[in-house]
Structure 1
Amino acid sequence: MPLSEEELRLLEQMERALVEEDPKLASTLRGTAFRRAARRRAIIAGACFVLGVVVLMTGAVASITAVGVVGFVIMLASATIALTAMRGPHGSAAADPRASGHPSHGSFTVIDGGRAGRTRRPRRTASHGSFMDRMEDRWRRRREEGGW
Protein backbone atom coordinates (compact mmCIF):
# COMPACT_ATOMS: atom_id res chain seq x y z
CA MET A 1 0.00 0.00 0.00
CA PRO A 2 1.60 3.31 -1.07
CA LEU A 3 1.90 6.20 1.35
CA SER A 4 -0.39 9.19 1.04
CA GLU A 5 0.94 12.65 0.20
CA GLU A 6 0.71 13.76 3.82
CA GLU A 7 2.54 10.66 5.04
CA LEU A 8 5.29 11.21 2.44
CA ARG A 9 5.64 14.83 3.52
CA LEU A 10 5.88 13.84 7.20
CA LEU A 11 8.45 11.15 6.37
CA GLU A 12 10.55 13.69 4.47
CA GLN A 13 10.38 16.11 7.40
CA MET A 14 11.50 13.37 9.80
CA GLU A 15 14.40 12.46 7.48
CA ARG A 16 15.51 16.09 7.28
CA ALA A 17 15.30 16.42 11.07
CA LEU A 18 17.40 13.28 11.50
CA VAL A 19 20.04 14.57 9.11
CA GLU A 20 20.16 17.92 10.93
CA GLU A 21 20.33 16.39 14.42
CA ASP A 22 22.72 13.50 13.76
CA PRO A 23 24.27 13.51 10.29
CA LYS A 24 26.66 10.69 11.15
CA LEU A 25 23.81 8.35 12.10
CA ALA A 26 21.85 9.34 9.00
CA SER A 27 24.87 8.62 6.81
CA THR A 28 25.35 5.24 8.46
CA LEU A 29 21.70 4.28 8.05
CA ARG A 30 21.68 5.38 4.43
CA GLY A 31 24.75 3.44 3.36
CA THR A 32 24.41 -0.05 4.84
CA ALA A 33 22.00 -1.57 2.30
CA PHE A 34 23.90 -0.09 -0.63
CA ARG A 35 27.25 -1.40 0.61
CA ARG A 36 25.84 -4.89 1.01
CA ALA A 37 24.41 -4.91 -2.53
CA ALA A 38 27.60 -3.40 -3.97
CA ARG A 39 29.74 -6.01 -2.21
CA ARG A 40 27.52 -8.80 -3.57
CA ARG A 41 27.75 -7.37 -7.11
CA ALA A 42 31.53 -7.05 -6.84
CA ILE A 43 31.90 -10.68 -5.67
CA ILE A 44 29.69 -11.98 -8.49
CA ALA A 45 31.60 -9.86 -11.00
CA GLY A 46 34.89 -11.26 -9.66
CA ALA A 47 33.63 -14.81 -10.15
CA CYS A 48 32.50 -13.93 -13.69
CA PHE A 49 35.93 -12.42 -14.36
CA VAL A 50 37.59 -15.72 -13.37
CA LEU A 51 35.11 -17.55 -15.62
CA GLY A 52 36.07 -15.18 -18.45
CA VAL A 53 39.76 -15.97 -17.92
CA VAL A 54 38.98 -19.68 -18.09
CA VAL A 55 36.97 -19.23 -21.31
CA LEU A 56 39.71 -17.03 -22.80
CA MET A 57 42.44 -19.55 -21.98
CA THR A 58 40.30 -22.41 -23.30
CA GLY A 59 39.91 -20.57 -26.59
CA ALA A 60 43.63 -19.88 -26.74
CA VAL A 61 44.65 -23.48 -25.99
CA ALA A 62 42.06 -24.92 -28.40
CA SER A 63 42.99 -22.31 -31.05
CA ILE A 64 39.37 -21.19 -31.36
CA THR A 65 39.41 -17.42 -31.76
CA ALA A 66 35.66 -16.94 -31.23
CA VAL A 67 35.79 -18.64 -27.81
CA GLY A 68 38.75 -16.47 -26.82
CA VAL A 69 36.92 -13.31 -27.87
CA VAL A 70 33.83 -14.36 -25.87
CA GLY A 71 36.06 -14.93 -22.83
CA PHE A 72 37.58 -11.48 -23.25
CA VAL A 73 34.12 -9.87 -23.51
CA ILE A 74 33.05 -11.69 -20.33
CA MET A 75 36.15 -10.40 -18.55
CA LEU A 76 35.60 -6.84 -19.79
CA ALA A 77 31.92 -6.78 -18.78
CA SER A 78 32.58 -8.25 -15.34
CA ALA A 79 35.46 -5.84 -14.69
CA THR A 80 33.21 -2.91 -15.63
CA ILE A 81 30.45 -4.13 -13.31
CA ALA A 82 32.92 -4.67 -10.46
CA LEU A 83 34.43 -1.20 -10.84
CA THR A 84 31.06 0.53 -10.90
CA ALA A 85 29.97 -1.46 -7.84
CA MET A 86 33.13 -0.48 -5.97
CA ARG A 87 32.96 3.16 -7.07
CA GLY A 88 29.86 3.82 -5.00
CA PRO A 89 26.60 5.66 -5.46
CA HIS A 90 28.22 8.75 -6.99
CA GLY A 91 28.81 7.02 -10.30
CA SER A 92 25.13 6.19 -10.83
CA ALA A 93 23.59 9.29 -9.20
CA ALA A 94 23.98 11.39 -12.32
CA ALA A 95 22.01 8.92 -14.40
CA ASP A 96 19.15 8.53 -11.91
CA PRO A 97 17.51 11.80 -10.86
CA ARG A 98 15.84 10.06 -7.88
CA ALA A 99 19.29 9.27 -6.43
CA SER A 100 20.31 12.91 -6.19
CA GLY A 101 20.16 12.93 -2.41
CA HIS A 102 17.52 15.65 -2.28
CA PRO A 103 15.14 15.16 0.65
CA SER A 104 12.09 15.48 -1.59
CA HIS A 105 13.14 12.27 -3.34
CA GLY A 106 12.95 10.16 -0.19
CA SER A 107 16.68 9.75 0.49
CA PHE A 108 19.15 11.30 2.88
CA THR A 109 21.46 14.09 1.83
CA VAL A 110 25.22 13.80 1.63
CA ILE A 111 27.23 15.75 4.18
CA ASP A 112 30.18 17.52 2.53
CA GLY A 113 32.49 17.36 5.52
CA GLY A 114 33.58 20.99 5.60
CA ARG A 115 35.21 21.20 2.20
CA ALA A 116 32.71 23.68 0.81
CA GLY A 117 34.27 26.60 2.70
CA ARG A 118 37.76 26.06 1.33
CA THR A 119 38.81 28.17 -1.59
CA ARG A 120 41.81 27.99 -3.84
CA ARG A 121 44.17 30.79 -4.55
CA PRO A 122 43.65 32.18 -8.02
CA ARG A 123 46.35 31.24 -10.47
CA ARG A 124 48.49 33.90 -12.02
CA THR A 125 47.77 34.56 -15.63
CA ALA A 126 50.02 35.70 -18.42
CA SER A 127 48.87 39.29 -17.85
CA HIS A 128 51.07 39.48 -14.74
CA GLY A 129 54.18 38.92 -16.83
CA SER A 130 56.53 36.07 -17.30
CA PHE A 131 58.40 34.22 -14.58
CA MET A 132 61.58 36.19 -15.21
CA ASP A 133 59.72 39.52 -15.04
CA ARG A 134 58.29 38.60 -11.64
CA MET A 135 61.70 37.50 -10.37
CA GLU A 136 63.27 40.79 -11.53
CA ASP A 137 60.51 42.75 -9.75
CA ARG A 138 61.15 40.83 -6.54
CA TRP A 139 64.89 41.46 -6.82
CA ARG A 140 64.35 45.19 -7.30
CA ARG A 141 62.00 45.38 -4.29
CA ARG A 142 64.49 43.53 -2.09
CA ARG A 143 67.30 45.87 -3.11
CA GLU A 144 65.15 48.95 -2.46
CA GLU A 145 63.89 47.71 0.94
CA GLY A 146 67.25 46.40 2.05
CA GLY A 147 69.07 49.60 1.13
CA TRP A 148 71.70 47.98 -1.07
Structure 2
Amino acid sequence: MELSEEELRMLEQMERALVEEDPKLASTLRGTSFQRAARRRMVIGGVVLVAGIGLLIAAVLLDLTAIVQTIVGVLGFVVMLGGAILALTSARNPAAASPKVRASGRSGFGVVDGGRPHRPSRQRSGTPFMQRVEERWRRRRDRGF
Protein backbone atom coordinates (compact mmCIF):
# COMPACT_ATOMS: atom_id res chain seq x y z
CA MET A 1 0.00 0.00 0.00
CA GLU A 2 1.49 3.31 -1.09
CA LEU A 3 1.42 6.43 1.00
CA SER A 4 -0.79 9.32 0.00
CA GLU A 5 0.73 12.49 -1.45
CA GLU A 6 0.19 14.30 1.85
CA GLU A 7 1.95 11.52 3.79
CA LEU A 8 4.84 11.51 1.30
CA ARG A 9 5.21 15.29 1.60
CA MET A 10 5.22 15.10 5.41
CA LEU A 11 7.74 12.27 5.36
CA GLU A 12 10.07 14.23 3.07
CA GLN A 13 9.80 17.26 5.37
CA MET A 14 10.68 15.13 8.38
CA GLU A 15 13.59 13.62 6.46
CA ARG A 16 14.93 17.06 5.50
CA ALA A 17 14.59 18.25 9.09
CA LEU A 18 16.49 15.21 10.36
CA VAL A 19 19.30 15.79 7.85
CA GLU A 20 19.57 19.44 8.94
CA GLU A 21 19.37 18.61 12.64
CA ASP A 22 21.64 15.56 12.83
CA PRO A 23 23.60 14.85 9.62
CA LYS A 24 25.60 12.05 11.24
CA LEU A 25 22.45 10.12 12.19
CA ALA A 26 21.01 10.70 8.72
CA SER A 27 24.22 9.34 7.19
CA THR A 28 24.00 6.26 9.39
CA LEU A 29 20.36 5.70 8.46
CA ARG A 30 21.23 6.00 4.78
CA GLY A 31 23.83 3.29 5.17
CA THR A 32 26.88 5.22 3.99
CA SER A 33 28.81 4.47 7.18
CA PHE A 34 27.92 0.79 6.79
CA GLN A 35 29.25 0.88 3.23
CA ARG A 36 32.52 2.37 4.42
CA ALA A 37 32.89 -0.26 7.13
CA ALA A 38 32.15 -3.08 4.67
CA ARG A 39 34.65 -1.68 2.17
CA ARG A 40 37.27 -1.39 4.93
CA ARG A 41 36.67 -5.03 5.97
CA MET A 42 37.04 -6.14 2.35
CA VAL A 43 40.37 -4.34 2.01
CA ILE A 44 41.64 -5.73 5.32
CA GLY A 45 40.49 -9.20 4.27
CA GLY A 46 42.39 -8.85 0.99
CA VAL A 47 45.56 -7.78 2.80
CA VAL A 48 45.27 -10.69 5.23
CA LEU A 49 44.67 -13.06 2.29
CA VAL A 50 47.85 -11.85 0.58
CA ALA A 51 49.78 -12.21 3.87
CA GLY A 52 48.57 -15.80 4.14
CA ILE A 53 49.70 -16.54 0.60
CA GLY A 54 53.05 -14.98 1.48
CA LEU A 55 53.38 -17.29 4.48
CA LEU A 56 52.59 -20.31 2.28
CA ILE A 57 55.21 -19.28 -0.26
CA ALA A 58 57.74 -18.61 2.53
CA ALA A 59 57.11 -22.07 3.95
CA VAL A 60 57.89 -23.64 0.59
CA LEU A 61 60.86 -21.48 -0.38
CA LEU A 62 62.73 -21.20 2.93
CA ASP A 63 65.05 -24.01 3.90
CA LEU A 64 63.35 -25.01 7.15
CA THR A 65 63.01 -28.29 8.95
CA ALA A 66 60.01 -30.36 7.97
CA ILE A 67 58.06 -29.70 11.15
CA VAL A 68 58.64 -25.91 11.03
CA GLN A 69 57.79 -25.87 7.33
CA THR A 70 54.52 -27.69 8.05
CA ILE A 71 53.61 -25.35 10.90
CA VAL A 72 54.32 -22.22 8.82
CA GLY A 73 52.38 -23.69 5.89
CA VAL A 74 49.34 -24.53 8.01
CA LEU A 75 49.53 -21.11 9.68
CA GLY A 76 49.69 -19.47 6.24
CA PHE A 77 46.68 -21.45 5.07
CA VAL A 78 44.64 -20.50 8.15
CA VAL A 79 45.56 -16.82 7.75
CA MET A 80 44.71 -16.96 4.05
CA LEU A 81 41.37 -18.65 4.75
CA GLY A 82 40.51 -16.08 7.43
CA GLY A 83 41.27 -13.20 5.06
CA ALA A 84 39.17 -14.74 2.32
CA ILE A 85 36.24 -15.28 4.67
CA LEU A 86 36.49 -11.71 5.98
CA ALA A 87 36.59 -10.24 2.47
CA LEU A 88 33.82 -12.41 1.07
CA THR A 89 31.40 -11.96 3.97
CA SER A 90 31.86 -8.19 3.71
CA ALA A 91 31.00 -8.25 0.02
CA ARG A 92 28.17 -10.76 0.30
CA ASN A 93 25.31 -8.35 -0.36
CA PRO A 94 26.53 -5.01 -1.71
CA ALA A 95 23.02 -3.98 -2.76
CA ALA A 96 21.78 -4.09 0.81
CA ALA A 97 24.45 -1.70 2.00
CA SER A 98 23.99 0.88 -0.77
CA PRO A 99 21.56 3.72 -0.21
CA LYS A 100 18.36 3.59 -2.20
CA VAL A 101 17.79 6.34 -4.75
CA ARG A 102 14.32 7.63 -5.39
CA ALA A 103 12.88 8.57 -8.72
CA SER A 104 13.56 12.21 -7.83
CA GLY A 105 17.28 11.40 -7.72
CA ARG A 106 17.74 11.99 -3.99
CA SER A 107 18.88 9.16 -1.81
CA GLY A 108 16.40 8.09 0.82
CA PHE A 109 16.87 6.31 4.09
CA GLY A 110 15.97 2.94 2.59
CA VAL A 111 13.86 2.04 5.61
CA VAL A 112 10.81 4.01 4.59
CA ASP A 113 11.86 5.39 1.20
CA GLY A 114 8.65 7.31 0.68
CA GLY A 115 6.45 4.25 0.91
CA ARG A 116 7.14 3.28 -2.67
CA PRO A 117 8.44 -0.26 -3.05
CA HIS A 118 11.36 -0.68 -5.46
CA ARG A 119 10.20 -4.12 -6.50
CA PRO A 120 6.92 -5.85 -6.06
CA SER A 121 6.76 -7.10 -2.52
CA ARG A 122 5.55 -10.62 -1.99
CA GLN A 123 3.05 -10.71 0.79
CA ARG A 124 3.19 -13.88 2.83
CA SER A 125 -0.09 -15.57 3.30
CA GLY A 126 -0.92 -17.42 6.47
CA THR A 127 -0.95 -20.75 4.63
CA PRO A 128 2.04 -23.09 4.78
CA PHE A 129 4.32 -23.49 1.79
CA MET A 130 3.27 -27.04 0.89
CA GLN A 131 -0.39 -26.10 1.00
CA ARG A 132 0.22 -23.27 -1.49
CA VAL A 133 2.17 -25.62 -3.77
CA GLU A 134 -0.63 -28.20 -3.69
CA GLU A 135 -3.19 -25.49 -4.49
CA ARG A 136 -1.13 -24.36 -7.51
CA TRP A 137 -0.83 -27.96 -8.65
CA ARG A 138 -4.62 -28.42 -8.43
CA ARG A 139 -5.22 -25.25 -10.46
CA ARG A 140 -2.81 -26.37 -13.18
CA ARG A 141 -4.35 -29.82 -13.33
CA ASP A 142 -7.86 -28.32 -13.60
CA ARG A 143 -6.75 -26.09 -16.51
CA GLY A 144 -5.41 -29.10 -18.38
CA PHE A 145 -1.71 -28.24 -18.48
> TM-score by structure 1 length?
0.47
Between structure 1 and structure 2, the one with the greater Rg is 1
Of structures 1 and 2, the one scoring higher in RCO (CA 8 A, sep 6+) is 2
> TM-score by structure 2 length?
0.48
